[in-house]
Every structure is written in structure tokens, then in C-alpha cells.
Structure 1
Amino acid sequence: MAWAGVLLLSALQACAPYRRVEGPISQVSDEQSCGEPARHLIVMLPGLYDLPADFVHEGFVQAVRERQLDADITMLDAHVGYYNERQIVSRLHSEVIAPARAKGYESIWLVGISLGGLGSLLYTQAHPQDITGFYAMAPFLGDKTTVNDVAQQGLALWQPSQPEPMGKPAWQLAQAYLKGAHDLPQGYVGYGESDRFAQANAMFATALPLGHRYVAPGGHDWSAWKSLWAQFLDSGVLSQTQRAHRACAKSFAP
């Protein structure tokens, strides 16, 4: 899978310590407590500087539990090494999604922030049939050259001006949505109004159906992302999982 010509870490101008891939992706799970196995799964992919525990500390898991969704949650330590070594898609497939499908979940949603948002798009482009949908919050979609090319050419006509630009599969996925491909999962994008990726995110969102874009005050930070997560959860997109839990909760009531 050739989708980046240079290290992603350099392109993001990051100062985070580089972590090499050593063994399987570490996973932190939070299972719903309905009394029987959950029928749905939410897979969370963190940003460049973040860890799985940040989804707990920032209230993402609690927000799901407060809405009584019949969903297990798995938070991945999918750090930048998996992207730089071009293993993020293959590892997600073999270590997370394929086992989840074998377990019998009725739906699987990818939820990614920043770098994790890119990861959710890369996976969707490679294996659209594997998931029910994705929610990419403030996804990184490539360097300035790539984003400028999309803006100047227009998404429908975009062709990369550089060999294998970073973010290429994500923009190809957007083009597939724009063309109305029928085999694609549900896709949603959210971003802060002053996020440094807002222009790119807005262009990607034009390929999605109306109502599949969420915007919140703020920039590239947890304050905006928490608002975007609440908007998504309250939109009814995951209403099927909520109904399932309520029926289960009622059956276990004393």
C-alpha cells in the first residue's frame, strides 16, 4: 500500500517521540454492562499525541454510556509508527476488525481524531465492506501541496501532482462518495471552525450527504472534539444501538 512518499511524522512537523511498531496494536476495551453481549462495536483511533486513555479522560466513553448505547468500545494505541511503517490498515484489519466481525457484532464504527481520523479513512478506502460507518473528527488529509491541489482542481477532477501524495486514499474515498458509489459505509466528518485542517475537512465533507458534517467552535483540540462527539451521539446516527440497549435494559429491570 503506497500512500505516503515521506514520513508522516515529518509532514505533520511533529515533535512527539517516534515509536516503532512492536507487536500487535494495544487495545483498551470498555464493554457495556447490559447483562448480555453487546451487538455493536465502536473502535476509537487517537490523534498523534494521544493515547487510548485520553478517550476515557476526556469523557468520550462516558458520553456513550450516558446515552445507554448497546455498544462495546475498544480504544487503540494506533500510534504514528503504524502509519510511517504503512501497517495501519493491515493491522487494523487482522488484529481488530476481522476478529470483531468473527465475534458477530452487528455493526462496527470507526471513530478517529486527527491522525486517527486519517486512519479511519484509509481503512474505509481499503475495506469498505468491513464496517458500518466512520466518524472522522479533524482528520489529517495530507500536506499543503495535496490540499491546495484539491482546492484548485476541484474534488471531482482532482489528480495528484506529486507521486503518491500523503492522503491520496482519503481523497480517492471522497471522490468515490461524490460519485455515489453504492458499496460504501456511512461516512461523517466533524471539525472545529478554527481548526488548521478545517479547509481540507470542509472539502472532504462536500462529498458526503447533507447532514453528515458537524462543525463546532474551537480549533484542533479536545474542547472542539468533545462538542463534535456530543453532536454526533445526539444526532440519532447510532439510534439503532440505543434502541437495542433500551430494550435490553427493560428486560433486565427488576
Structure 2
Amino acid sequence: MDVLSRFSLLKACLVMWVLGVTGCASTQSPMPMLSYTGPQSDGKTLVVALRGIGGSVKSFEKYHFISDLHRHYPSFDVMIPDAHFGYYKEKNLRDRLEEDVFKPARAQGYKKIWLVGISLGGLGSLINFQCCESEFAGAVLIAPYSGEAELHQDIETYLAGSGPSPWESARWQEEDSKDFLALWAWILDNGALFSSGRIWLGYGDKDRLSGHELLASRLPEKNVIRVKGGHKAKVFSSIWNDILEQKPF
């Protein structure tokens, strides 16, 4: 069972607390979404953008993510499903994305699907990669949520040879903690994937979420973008532009 299918309400509440958001919308089938056709679309590459917990499907256009992408890649199409927090809480994000986005995209003839995730959407991108990485060309993770700071600290201590394995510690045996341990075990066990150049990471040096440096340590340095700033939309926009300048796709 993958990390998404076991994503617990307890962990969901923690995520919302960390990100400073309360409440979540109800889920729908199929997922509502916005679509943007590239000005020189060739129907071969699709970028699927996953929103943060406090954003909306319109946030990507509001902060010029779409126009910035098309300035560099005019042939790319974009789909933005309304993958809000409710899908994580109800444990059906992966199923809905597969049925409403990925499967139809493959049927339409798209050859490459890229994931772009911001904050909670970065977690969603990792979850989809963890499940079915061969289905995706790559992923751009902008300030992704990947668990509690204490968990990251325990993993770093263990990797440095200065502490016990968090995978064997009684501290992290609750189901929700095991979900993130499973995610990090997958990250650490898949060095070839994370060193392949298919995954990009960007974050601000004052971002309130943790785990970014730990994830960055698994990636090629050229695939990591660090900027000044915190967990804010204008910082995410700056990161996106810096990544686009590196020609990631």
C-alpha cells in the first residue's frame, strides 16, 4: 500500500497546522481543473501542476507560472487539477489524478507528463512518483512538504551515524509517521532516480518547512535552486523562473 493510501487524518491535521490553514473543500469526481494549451502546442508534453494547501487552481496563472512556462516552452500544455487538501484527507488523490488526468492524457497521445508541485503539491508529486515513477518524465518540487522537522532530524542523525534508525524507533511507529518513513525510505533507496536529473527542487532559505536540505542532498547540485525568502507565493515564483532558466524539461 503506498503512502497516499495510508495518509492519515492525524497527519493531515498536522500538515494543515504547519501550513497555517484550516478546513478543506469536499472532493469531486471527476476533479475540476483548468487547462492551458501552449501557443505552439504539439500535443506531446503535458505539465500537471499541483497546488499548495492555501492556494487555488488560479494561483498558477495569478503568479505567472503559465506565461513563464510558455515563454520557455511554447509547445507545452498545462493541466491544473483542483487537487486540494480534501483529496489527501480522503486518500483518493492518486486515484483521481490517474482517472481524471493521467489516463486521459495518455489516451490523447501525450508522450511526456511532468509534475510540478508547490508545498503540499510537492508531497503529491512525490507520492505519484513513489507509486509510478516510470509514468512521468520528471518532477519540479517547490518547497515540498515531506514530514515533521523532528523526523527529518532523526533521519539526518541516523545517516550521519550518530543515532538509531528512525525506521526501528518506537517514536515513529504510529501509522501516520510510518507513511513518511516509507516515503523517505523510498527516496533514500532510489539513488539512481534522484541523481538522474529528472527531479528538481527549489526552496527559500527561510522556508518554515523542513526537509529541503535532506532532499537536496540526494539530488545533483545543478537540480537544486535556493533563493532568499520564506514560504510565500512570490518566492515560489522566483524559484520557478530560476528553474526554467536552467532548461529542466
If the TM-score is normalised by the length of the shorter chain, which range does it land in?
A: 0.7 to 0.9
Distance 1:17 1:3 in 2: 17
Per-residue deviation, 1:155:
8.4
For 2:199, the equivalent position in structure 1 comes to 187
Residue 159 in structure 1 maps to residue 167 in structure 2: yes
Q: Is the 8 A contact 2:204 2:228 kept in 1?
A: yes
Letter of the 2:25 counterpart: R
Q: 1:82/1:137 Cα in 2 relative to 1: closer, same or farther (>3 Å)?
A: same
Match for 2:6: what amino acid? Answer: A
Distance apart, 1:195 and its partner CA: 0.3
Structure 1 residues 96 and 168, CA gap change in structure 2 (3 angstroms): farther
Cα distance, 1:214–1:137 mapped onto 2, change above 3 Å: same
Please give the per-residue CA displacement for 1:126-177, whole angstroms capped at 9, x wherever unaligned.
Answer: 1111100001100011123322322222289652632331533431332133
Residue in 2 that maps onto 1:76: 81
Corresponding letter in the other structure for 2:22: A
Q: Which amino acid aligns with 1:74?
A: M
- Cα displacement (A) at 1:20: 2.4
Q: Deviations over 1:86-134 (max 9, x none)?
A: 1111211222112212222121100000000000000100111110000
Instruction: Give, in whole Å, the separation in 2 of the partners of 1:119 and 1:154.
Output: 25
Structure 1 distance, partners of 2:32, 2:190, is 31
Matched, 1:129 2:129: no
Number of equivalent positions: 235
1:170 and 1:231, CA in 2 relative to 1: closer, same or farther beyond 3 A?
A: farther
Q: TM-score, normalised by structure 2?
A: 0.85
Separation (CA, whole Å) in 2 of partners of 1:155 and 1:31: 47
Could you list the runs of 5+ residues in structure 2 that have no partner in the other structure? none
**2:12 equivalent in structure 1:** 8
- 2:39 matched residue in structure 1: 33
Distance 2:215 2:204 in 1: 14
- Shift of the 62–24 alpha-carbon distance from structure 1 to 2, 3 Å rule, reads same
In the TM superposition, what whole-angstrom CA distance separates every residue of 1:54-86 from its partner, at most 9, and x where no partner exists?
Answer: 100101011012224310001121000100111
CA distance in 2, matches of 1:89, 1:57: 26
For 1:177, the aligned partner's letter is: N
C-alpha contact 1:5 1:163 (8 A) present in aligned 2: no
